[in-house]
Amino acid sequence: MRQIFLSIFFGITILLTGCVKDSEPSTAEEDLGSTSKVSAGSHTESKNLTELSSINVAESTEDMASLPPGHLTKDFTVDQEVSIWSKSEVPEEIRESFLEEMKSVTESTKDPRQIHSAFIKLLGSPLYSEFVGPLAVFHPSFAVPILPEPHELTEEGAAVDLPSNALILLDASSSMLLQADGRLKMDTAKTAVKSFAATIGQNSEVSLYVYGHAGTQSKSDKELSCGTIDEVYPLGSYDEKKFNESVDGVNASGWTPLAQAIKQARLDHENTKEDITVYIVSDGAETCGGDPVAEAQAFSDLAKARHVNVIGFQVDQKAESQLKAVAEAGNGTYLAADTLDEMTAGISKLWLPSDLDLATLVYKKPIGWPQATALRTVSNYADKTKNAIRVENERFIGAARLLEEEGLIDETVKDELIELINNQKEQYMRLIIELDEEKRQLINDEVDRISKKVDDYHERMKALKEKQNK
């Protein structure tokens, strides 16, 4: 009987052991899995806390501009973020997600600084890059009037004739995205071209070609970039608004098809009987395999009254050598320019002011509407940023109170947290106020600089004319 019982007992034991092996881990395995889970959880918590420790309040406007939007607020609209009617609370649509995230954080730490970092990560404003970034890089681009010098008169005292048709070829290749004197080369070239067109357009038909603006600098885009030449302002009477819009619409990006640009200008206007002068504004040599020297020669060979003038803007020796050859082959002149003033002065070699031009120079100063527009742009960026700071501050304070209400933090932690939140607001406001004042001063200084330049020129020309008439 005892043997039968033992046999049955061992049989059941073996059966149960087999079932356990098939369906569940052993006790040792359970202990190991449990340890692994605890270790993984601890590692995750440690990783999360380390991540929060790396999220800090911005110390500069550059830092503010690079702040990513909060994970939960990234889709909030501008109206939501700058509304004066915003409530001091976490919006209903993200409250549940916010509490779920913060439960995990507050279970790991009660440090107000790390909780504040979690607020920045989850609820930070989505607008800083949109407004602080443009404000930080804002630079007034007032049209600088061309002020030709008296040596531009002929020996007989007569004015040099302006061309009937002026074709401006603007280089928009990727190298124009480099900086020069604190500004993009492209922006400097645009300002100079606008000023030149406003001057020469008083007596000449004007056209604007752009090249290098298609595709990118990658080899895969070379064919597109090298084959795209656009006359963005067709030859005709100068219209300031339309011409400036055409210039502003140009973006630098690709290769440099200088030869093809000259060729396209020739083909488009080969039947034009009146004299034509091409004005090339470029910062580099041909990169598409064409022969710009031969094309300049072909252009000037059509008629004696055809010329190709070139302005090389901060070019290297190799590029300057080619651009000089282009001007020579095109029966024109070459000018090297390193600054905006040199560029506008160089373009003006064919223009002489009349008494009327001198009398109307006062209207070329960027006072009044241009200055007010620039100041309004700066104020718009600054005011919207300040509102975004205020809304973010109120959202953070509401979040701190919500955590206390839910029992996730106590009153002491909440008070310390609100102090950190308000310190952040004060710091951000100070940064934006300083940046706003800096940009306003920059605008006013630029207005004063140009106005003084115009006034000095006017007085000098007036004195020379009076002396000549004696």
What pLDDT score does 50 carry?
62
Name the region of 304 (left: φ>0; alpha: ψ -120 to 50; beta: rest): alpha
Question: Domain 159-352, what fold?
Answer: Rossmann fold (3.40.50)
Q: Which tens digits make up the pLDDT trace of 21-55?
A: 444 443 333 333 333 333 444 444 545 556 776 78
- Average pLDDT over every residue of 400-419: 96
> Residue 152 — very low, low, confident or very high, per pLDDT cuts 50/70/90?
very low
> Residue 414 — very low, low, confident or very high, per pLDDT cuts 50/70/90?
very high
Give domain limits for the chain: 54-147+356-470, 159-352
What pLDDT score does 153 carry?
37
For residue 465, pLDDT over 80 is answered with no
> Residue 86 — very low, low, confident or very high, per pLDDT cuts 50/70/90?
low
Q: With pLDDT > 70 as the criterion, what percentage of the chain qualifies? A: 80
What pLDDT score does 238 carry?
93
For residue 325, pLDDT over 80 is answered with yes
What pLDDT score does 387 carry?
94
| Residue showing tokens 């932690």 | 413
205-211 vs 165-171, strand pairing mode: parallel
What pLDDT score does 467 carry?
47
Task: Give me the torsion for CA of 37, 40, 41, 43, rounded to 10°.
Answer: 160
The number of CA neighbours under 13 Å toward the Cβ of 367 is: 11
What pLDDT score does 158 carry?
43
Q: Which tens digits make up the pLDDT trace of 332-387?
A: 888 888 776 676 665 544 444 566 667 778 888 899 999 999 999 999 999 999 99
Residue 134 token pair: 């443009």
Angle CA 139–145–146, to nearest 5 = 125
DSSP structure class, residue 202: T
User: What does pLDDT average to over the chain?
Assistant: 83
> Residue 264 — very low, low, confident or very high, per pLDDT cuts 50/70/90?
very high
Cα–Cα distance, 323 to 81 (Å, whole number): 52
For residue 11, pLDDT over 70 is answered with no
Q: Which tens digits make up the pLDDT trace of 157-199?
A: 444 467 889 999 999 999 888 877 667 888 888 988 888 888 7
Specify the range with the lowest mean pLDDT, choosing from 126-140, 253-267, 360-374. Answer: 360-374
